[in-house]
Chain A
Amino acid sequence: MSLIYPRESLKAHPLNASPEYKSTLKRAPAQPLILLPHTLSETTGPVFGHVAVNETDTDLTRQHAGEPLGERIIVTGRVLDEDGRPVPHTLVEIWQANAAGRYVHVRDQHPAPLDPNFTGAGRALTDAQGRYRFVTVKPGAYPWRNHHNAWRPAHIHFSLFGPSFLSRVITQMYFPGDPLFRYDPIFQSITDENARNRLVSRFDIETTEPEWALAYQFDIVLRGRNATPLEEPHDH
């Protein structure tokens, strides 16, 4: 099956020039982007279906001797293409702050405690139906210096490859009902409300485990459509 990558879909993305997010001011290109035809360099990409993913890669609560502090959650979802078809055996990388809102990263200066039982990095491969599943703890909100009293809404960073260079994306998953959404210029950099809300996970009672963990569902749609869509019988 060959995929095409309509440019129309790119309107879902934020503009790099989003001045409310101060770090963009000196980092967003000023020159217009040049339209790149989709050659073999773009329609191919690295595939990681072979990458060994073990249980502790998908369960971030079991990477250390003890259990991390915080609210245990299960995060599941499907990786789909723009036709809604599953993207099987594709790599999903995630990273996040701990329950107190502190990253393991050496340059994170937020005066909240590190958790010796939590790193916050995970990796999964989607199954044949495009599904992935992580167990982790709910990350805390954290302050940053973008503007007075700026706090990031709680989020998990996601990195995906999909089938080609064109489907590569890095994004962030948020949690429903976060009061910080309206103040967050990174979330608000996505100007289309529907597109923005696609980054908000759904509380998922079906996947919760009684006496053990809450659950959130987050589907991810990567670029790519079937070049020759099948006609659906019910249309005729």
Chain B
Amino acid sequence: MTTETKLTTETKPGLTPSQTIGPFFAYALTPRAYGGSELATEQVAAEGVAGERIRIEGTVFDGDGVPVGDAMIETWQADPQGRFHAAGNAGFTGFGRAETNTEGGFFFETVKPGALQGADGTQQAPHLSVSVFARGVLVRLATRIYFSDEPGNASDPILALVPAGRRDTLIAQRGADGVFRFDIRLQGEGETVFFEA
């Protein structure tokens, strides 16, 4: 008990606060156009990685519906078997990173993740964890991408925490061309659900 108190009030160093990514990150974090070496890209799974190959496309909008052309989107996901960091998964780290183009657009090409364990024996429907960074965003916005063709969404324990009227903002809609559409609305009508993670 006393140890716990000490850790909290004396020993424990305070968290480093977040600041905005600002408008000028691209030459360091998404430096393709600058000839820099890329840590990760919108290609999350190399050719030949087993699984259902999918493409997700979207646009980031601000509260006026204006496209956000200076955002960075990162994705994190399980493999098709619902595993993270599985051994022998060559060509797949589960991590994607993309900047939005001048029209606010982004895309990712990956393999669809598998379902995975939630708390208390529940099962989570396939999803990607998403971070949104942008000028004017002081703290990373966390959201998730689910998929419209997954029946498991109905019993997903995280979607169940979201008011029913807003759940659709977390579900990428599969178009006739097979591409999943996932727009991110930072504010206002149809505002994307963001989480305190």
List the interface of chain A (C-beta within 8 A of B): 7, 9-10, 12-16, 18, 21-31, 33-42, 44-48, 51, 80, 82-84, 91, 93-95, 97, 103-108, 119-123, 157, 159, 165-166, 168-172, 186-187, 189-190, 192, 194-196, 198-199, 219-223, 225, 229, 231-232, 235
Contact B14 A194 (CB under 8 A): yes
Besides A35-B161, A37-B157, A172-B19, 16 other CB < 8 A contacts? A12-B14, A14-B138, A16-B137, A16-B138, A26-B64, A26-B186, A29-B191, A29-B194, A30-B63, A31-B191, A35-B196, A37-B119, A46-B95, A157-B28, A165-B76, A221-B13
Within B162-197, which residues are at the interface with A (CB < 8 Å)?
A: 162, 166, 186-188, 191-197
- A187, closest chain B residue (CB): B19
- B95, closest chain A residue (CB): A46
Which of A45, A159, A195 sits near B14, CB closer than 8 Å?
A: A195
On chain B, the number of residues with a Cβ less than 8 Å from chain A's Cβ atoms is 79
- A164, closest chain B residue (CB): B76
Dominant secondary structure of chain B at its interface with chain A: loop
Q: How far is the CA of A196 from the CA of B119 in the complex (A)?
A: 35
Tell me how far the C-beta of A197 lies from the nearest C-beta in chain B, rounded to whole angstroms. Answer: 10
Contact B116 A40 (CB under 8 A): yes
The interface residues of chain A lying within 8 Å CB-to-CB of B131 are 165, 168
- Listed by A's residue number, 9 A-B pairs whose Cβ atoms lie within 8 Å are A26-B66, A28-B187, A45-B76, A93-B39, A97-B24, A121-B31, A171-B16, A192-B17, A199-B16
Q: How far is the CA of A91 from the CA of B100 in the complex (A)?
A: 23
